Chains A and B, each alone.
Chain A
Amino acid sequence: MPGSELLSDPGTDGHAAGGGSARDSAAVGAGLDALDTPTTRRRPLWSRVLRTGVPPLVALVATLAVWQLLWSAAIWSEYKLPAPLSVWHEFTKVVASGEIWGIVWTSVHRALLGFAASVVIATPLGLLVAKVRVVRAAIGPLLAGMQSLPSVAWVPAAVLWFGLTDATIYFVVLLGAVPSIANGLVAGIEQVPPILPRVGCVMGAGRIDSARLILLPAALPGYLAGCKQGWAFSWRSLMAAEIIAVSPQLGTGLGAYLKEGSDFNSMPGVIAAIFLILLVGIGIELLAFRPVERRILRSRGLAVTT
Chain B
Amino acid sequence: MTVTIATTHPHAQTPPRPGRDAPAARLTGVGKVFGRGADAVTALTGVDLRVAPGEFVVLLGASGCGKTTLLNLLAGLDEPTAGRVEVAARRPAVMFQEPALLPWLSAVRNVELPLRLSGVGRSARRQRAGELLDLVRLSGQANKRPHELSGGMRQRVALARALAATTNDGTTNDGTGGLLLMDEPFAALDAITRDFLQAELRRIWRAGDNAVVFVTHDVREAVRLGQRVVLLSSRPGTVVREWTVPEDHTDADRATLTEQITDRLREVISTHARV
A33 and B153 contact, Cβ closer than 8 Å, known pairs A5-B195, A28-B196: yes
A24 and chain B: residue at smallest CB distance: B199
Q: A199–B103 contact, CB under 8 A? A: no
Q: Report the Cα distance A69→B248, complex, angstroms.
A: 88
- Kindly state whether residue B192 has any CB partner on chain A within 8 Å: yes
- Kindly state whether residue B41 has any CB partner on chain A within 8 Å: no
- Kindly state whether residue A196 has any CB partner on chain B within 8 Å: yes
When the two chains form the complex, which single residue of B100, B153, B249 contacts A195, counting CB atoms closer than 8 Å? B100
Q: A301–B196 contact, CB under 8 A? A: no
A9 and B102 contact, Cβ closer than 8 Å, known pairs A2-B254, A32-B192: no
Chain A residues, CB < 8 A from B98: 195
B217 to chain A, nearest CB (A): 18
- Kindly state whether residue A40 has any CB partner on chain B within 8 Å: yes
Q: B103–A300 contact, CB under 8 A? A: yes
When the two chains form the complex, which single residue of A6, A37, A193, A203 contacts B117, counting CB atoms closer than 8 Å? A203
**Segment among A96-104, A154-162, A166-174, A212-220 that sits at the interface with chain B:** A212-220
Interface mask (B185-219 → A, CB under 8 Å = 1, otherwise 0): 00000001101101110110010000000000000
Number of interface residues of A (CB under 8 A): 45
- Kindly state whether residue B9 has any CB partner on chain A within 8 Å: no
A37 and B77 contact, Cβ closer than 8 Å, known pairs A11-B206, A300-B104: no
Chain B residues, CB < 8 A from A220: 104
Chain B residues, CB < 8 A from A77: none
Chain A residues, CB < 8 A from B153: 33, 36-37
Q: Report the Cα distance A202→B148, complex, angstroms.
A: 25
Chain A residues, CB < 8 A from B250: 14
- Kindly state whether residue A20 has any CB partner on chain B within 8 Å: no
A25 to chain B, nearest CB (A): 5
Q: Report the Cα distance A85→B248, complex, angstroms.
A: 90
Q: Which of A191-242 contact B (CB under 8 A)?
A: 193, 195-196, 198-205, 209, 213-214, 217-218, 220
When the two chains form the complex, which single residue of B93, B149, B198, B258 contacts A2, counting CB atoms closer than 8 Å? B258
When the two chains form the complex, which single residue of A8, A15, A29 contacts B137, counting CB atoms closer than 8 Å? A29
Q: Which of B140-180 contact A (CB under 8 A)?
A: 141, 145-153, 165, 168
Q: B249–A12 contact, CB under 8 A? A: yes
- Kindly state whether residue A7 has any CB partner on chain B within 8 Å: yes
Chain B residues, CB < 8 A from A30: 137
A213 and B117 contact, Cβ closer than 8 Å, known pairs A2-B254, A203-B165: yes
Q: A209–B117 contact, CB under 8 A? A: yes
When the two chains form the complex, which single residue of A36, A203, A300 contacts B114, counting CB atoms closer than 8 Å? A203
A62 to chain B, nearest CB (A): 38
Interface mask (B248-266 → A, CB under 8 Å = 1, otherwise 0): 1111101100100000000
- Kindly state whether residue B113 has any CB partner on chain A within 8 Å: yes
Q: A36–B198 contact, CB under 8 A? A: no
Q: A299–B145 contact, CB under 8 A? A: yes
- Kindly state whether residue A44 has any CB partner on chain B within 8 Å: no
- Kindly state whether residue A121 has any CB partner on chain B within 8 Å: no
When the two chains form the complex, which single residue of B152, B168, B224, B258 contacts A12, counting CB atoms closer than 8 Å? B224
A22 and B151 contact, Cβ closer than 8 Å, known pairs A6-B195, A9-B224, A203-B114: no
Q: A203–B113 contact, CB under 8 A? A: yes
Chain B residues, CB < 8 A from A296: 104
Chain B residues, CB < 8 A from A214: 102
- Kindly state whether residue A38 has any CB partner on chain B within 8 Å: yes
Q: A196–B147 contact, CB under 8 A? A: no
A216 to chain B, nearest CB (A): 11
Q: Report the Cα distance A213→B148, complex, angstroms.
A: 21
Q: A202–B251 contact, CB under 8 A? A: no
Chain B residues, CB < 8 A from A292: none
Q: B146–A301 contact, CB under 8 A? A: yes
Q: B196–A7 contact, CB under 8 A? A: yes
Q: Report the Cα distance A166→B199, complex, angstroms.
A: 70
Q: A12–B146 contact, CB under 8 A? A: no
Q: Report the Cα distance A11→B206, complex, angstroms.
A: 8
- Kindly state whether residue B128 has any CB partner on chain A within 8 Å: no
B252 and chain A: residue at smallest CB distance: A2
Chain A residues, CB < 8 A from B193: 32, 36
Chain B residues, CB < 8 A from A36: 150-153, 193
A248 to chain B, nearest CB (A): 50
Q: Which of A1-55 contact B (CB under 8 A)?
A: 2-3, 5-12, 14-15, 22, 25-26, 28-30, 32-33, 36-38, 40
A301 and B103 contact, Cβ closer than 8 Å, known pairs A9-B202, A26-B137, A37-B150: yes
A-B contact pairs, 6 of them (CB 8 A): A25-B196, A28-B196, A36-B151, A40-B148, A202-B93, A202-B165
B interface residues with partner A (beta carbon < 8 Å):
75, 77, 91-94, 96, 98, 100, 102-104, 113-114, 116-118, 137, 141, 145-153, 165, 168, 192-193, 195-196, 198-200, 202-203, 206, 220, 224, 248-252, 254-255, 258
